[in-house]
Structure 1
């Protein structure tokens, strides 16, 4: 039984932090979804070719991906909470500017790049927060809360954007409304996202000591400061199989996710004949189910882990199963001959991806040293978002050249297979550099016994 279980009147500030991250990630994906949902109208108004639509949709990821590693480094050096809040304020402002002033493909692309830069800290920042606020047996739920925002943002994004289009006048009003909505959520959440367990004004000593003791066992932070455990160099990651399997696996996962997110509404409109109002309801169903599956997945993962099962067993079993489901769903989606069957396979594909994808955010704090979690998370997110840069363009050209989505969907099957392979090669039970630290601890112990 954990020390926290017996504590009287212990606070739960760490969960307040992650519910705040959940809210921020939700509005983050409402902002990302708004352009995809409005794109049929934007494409019609501005007479954009499908290939140009792909460029516009991918422009966000140019700025977002380019900033992932620099932002990860900043998160390791400075206050993650402050960087996340500043990020939210900036992306709300750029969304408003896009709705008010974008009048051409070039202007759309420039403003989407700026939006991507401003949103860059949110996911590496949330992953960094796991190493500050959550123990290793709580990160399934923490990752689920944070990452569920992506599915919920897409689920409620459709109806919200449709409402904004009606209330504020078309796609421009929807973009402006989404930006204002963002600013309200970010400013409201800023009071809960404060500092670390050592500096947060709302945490009590029971919760503070629990986190300090559990995280010290995992990361040996005090021992490193005192020179008892050797510090691990960043270059160690560049020769680590764990690091590169994480990078490749997340590239495949995000290619799958962003491909569905950016082209999913267009697929439903063009291949299945849904109008824009019906698309909003379809998106709500698809991603709404994903929200439920992901939250259940976080609880199941942590309960299995708490039962004594190793991280290797838990994560490999669940992630490989979900990745197989992702691939199978896309294969059958390519053969869908009705709106109903298409919606079923899209919903299953998104649900499998949500559970699998949520667990990827457990990997950086699991395989990294504490002072490298932000940079490793940024590197992972950089790789994933390179998929976000490339996939909308590739799908756009495939659809433009072939007039169908079949080849693109077969590519999605390949992404699921790639995740299975890289997950099987990962060793979740060992941090990068743990061999060096074990040797240094053994050396200190030997000297003490001489």
Structure 2
């Protein structure tokens, strides 16, 4: 009688590592936001200047997305991601060592360092998408993607109160030293634990068969795949000509407007518009983040549940996105209440909705061409993180020009509405996009 081999569950260790590293990724981005009010006073910054410094990260992050995606497809996720973690942690650490500078020099150096962090972090989320596609069958991919995507909230829950306490007790620069050192240590943990499915020493044949039969791309990042890789640049035009993918890309931009409000201006809003101390704002910010974190996990579980119940991939992905983003629009209601408790309630509800609707990384894992998952993820992330350039600057001008955050919250709500229209009207059926073959002159030679 043939014995049944119980499958291993290494894939869940992999996604846990993606969550840890992604939490660090977002915490490094948010470290400046926590100390922003203190920085404004110490450095004499107005809202517009602060908005430009906030946006420095995203300028580089967007510019480096396509090169980062190409590097992932060419050299594999493990080594490129490890280099990414190491370099962004070093640049983060350096932000805490600028105390010897004075005047305008410290502003310029902080801008440059934040710019370099953007370059270094560019491959991270496209790598998350590739690793998830390689390790998870389609029916578990929504859950896996929601786990690593929830890091944007997990980072705030885990680190925001600590960073607020450090800012108030020791100064804003100490946050960067702490986060940089954590990242350097995590680089070595990553190298020790992360492998492709067929190369991982802890994966048994039963798990490998299970994920492969479920649609996981287990050959990704194997030596054979890397050796046979070709230039993928000619295919970018095809991605941009796909109505489905463009709807997904623009939708992600609009959803990320709320993300970047949260990562940049939200703590400032609590301090300046609602009169909280920096310490209290740090703790209060963790409440909406906890709601977003919970909703993000639930959205992936719910989407995969719908898929297992026989609903189409399109229905299973769109229902949480549209319903969640619709709920996030209650953020505009903060303009019409004076009670701080009601503001926190509405913000928590808005971030719950945003978290429930933010399964875009799952969608791109489902829809991207299998030959260029890294590059497709980079395109998706480029569009999404244009919001990181535009949102802090627009909100900076709104606050500076009006002396109020009311217009800023209306701006965020309007973008949520556009995201809903994208998924309901533009995207259409969600399915794997098939590339057309091209010759060396970039001419289509077959379908």
Does TM-score exceed 0.5, indicating one fold? yes
User: CA contact under 8 A between 2:134 and 2:220: conserved in structure 1?
Assistant: no
Q: Tell me how far apart the structure 1 counterparts of residues 152 and 146 of structure 2 sit (CA, whole Å).
A: 10
> Secondary structure of the residue that 2:192 maps to in structure 1?
coil
How far did 1:256 drift? 1.8
Q: Tell me how far apart the structure 1 counterparts of residues 4 and 422 of structure 2 sit (CA, whole Å).
A: 41
Q: Tell me how far apart the structure 1 counterparts of residues 353 and 191 of structure 2 sit (CA, whole Å).
A: 32
User: CA contact under 8 A between 1:248 and 1:422: conserved in structure 2?
Assistant: yes
Q: Does residue 262 in structure 1 map to residue 284 in structure 2?
A: no
Q: Tell me how far apart the structure 2 counterparts of residues 406 and 235 of structure 1 sit (CA, whole Å).
A: 39
Per-residue CA shift, 1:27-53, capped at 9, x if unaligned?
Answer: 112211111001111111111111101
Q: 2:157 aligns with which of 136, 147, 155?
A: 155
User: CA contact under 8 A between 1:22 and 1:148: conserved in structure 2?
Assistant: yes
Aligned to 2:42: 45
Aligned to 1:282: 284
> Secondary structure of the residue that 2:275 maps to in structure 1?
coil
Q: Tell me how far apart the structure 1 counterparts of residues 49 and 368 of structure 2 sit (CA, whole Å).
A: 39
Matches within 5 A, 1:105-144: 105-144=107-146
How far did 1:411 drift? 1.1
Instruction: Return closer, same or farther for 1:406/1:386 CA change in 2, 3 Å cut-off.
Output: same
Aligned to 1:370: 370
User: CA contact under 8 A between 2:165 and 2:279: conserved in structure 1?
Assistant: no
Per-residue CA shift, 1:199-224, capped at 9, x if unaligned?
Answer: 22221111112223332799999xxx
Q: Tell me how far apart the structure 1 counterparts of residues 87 and 218 of structure 2 sit (CA, whole Å).
A: 35
Aligned to 1:73: 70
How far did 1:136 drift? 1.2
Per-residue CA shift, 1:110-157, capped at 9, x if unaligned?
Answer: 110011111111111101112211111111111111011110101222
Q: Tell me how far apart the structure 2 counterparts of residues 393 and 220 of structure 1 sit (CA, whole Å).
A: 39
User: CA contact under 8 A between 1:59 and 1:113: conserved in structure 2?
Assistant: yes
Q: Tell me how far apart the structure 2 counterparts of residues 219 and 363 of structure 1 sit (CA, whole Å).
A: 21
> Secondary structure of the residue that 2:116 maps to in structure 1?
helix
Instruction: Return closer, same or farther for 1:82/1:30 CA change in 2, 3 Å cut-off.
Output: same
Q: Tell me how far apart the structure 2 counterparts of residues 220 and 20 of structure 1 sit (CA, whole Å).
A: 18
Bigger Cα displacement from structure 2, 129-138 vs 423-432 = 423-432
Q: Tell me how far apart the structure 2 counterparts of residues 159 and 218 of structure 1 sit (CA, whole Å).
A: 39
How far did 1:69 drift? 1.4
Aligned to 1:401: 401
Bigger Cα displacement from structure 2, 239-248 vs 291-300 = 291-300
Bigger Cα displacement from structure 2, 232-241 vs 367-376 = 232-241
Instruction: Return closer, same or farther for 1:275/1:68 CA change in 2, 3 Å cut-off.
Output: same
Aligned to 2:58: 61
Q: Tell me how far apart the structure 2 counterparts of residues 81 and 303 of structure 1 sit (CA, whole Å).
A: 30
Q: Show structure 2 runs of 5+ residues with no match.
A: 226-231, 438-445
Instruction: Return closer, same or farther for 1:321/1:281 CA change in 2, 3 Å cut-off.
Output: same
> Secondary structure of the residue that 2:126 maps to in structure 1?
helix
How far did 1:291 drift? 1.2
Q: Tell me how far apart the structure 1 counterparts of residues 185 and 236 of structure 2 sit (CA, whole Å).
A: 38
> Secondary structure of the residue that 1:427 maps to in structure 2?
coil
Aligned to 2:274: 272
Matches within 5 A, 1:39-438: 39-101=36-98, 103=101, 104-165=106-167, 169-194=170-195, 196-215=196-215, 233-327=235-329, 329-357=330-358, 359-424=359-424, 425-433=426-434
Aligned residue pairs, count = 421
Q: Tell me how far apart the structure 2 counterparts of residues 403 and 166 of structure 1 sit (CA, whole Å).
A: 25
User: CA contact under 8 A between 2:369 and 2:432: conserved in structure 1?
Assistant: yes
Instruction: Return closer, same or farther for 1:398/1:210 CA change in 2, 3 Å cut-off.
Output: same
Q: Does residue 15 in structure 1 map to residue 17 in structure 2?
A: no
Q: Tell me how far apart the structure 2 counterparts of residues 7 and 257 of structure 1 sit (CA, whole Å).
A: 46
How far did 1:13 drift? 1.3
User: CA contact under 8 A between 1:258 and 1:387: conserved in structure 2?
Assistant: yes
> Secondary structure of the residue that 1:101 maps to in structure 2?
coil
Q: Does residue 33 in structure 1 map to residue 34 in structure 2?
A: no
Q: Show structure 1 runs of 5+ residues with no match.
A: 1-5, 226-230, 437-442, 444-450
Per-residue CA shift, 1:144-181, capped at 9, x if unaligned?
Answer: 110111101012221121343467x2111221112112
Q: Tell me how far apart the structure 2 counterparts of residues 218 and 326 of structure 1 sit (CA, whole Å).
A: 36
User: CA contact under 8 A between 2:256 and 2:388: conserved in structure 1?
Assistant: yes
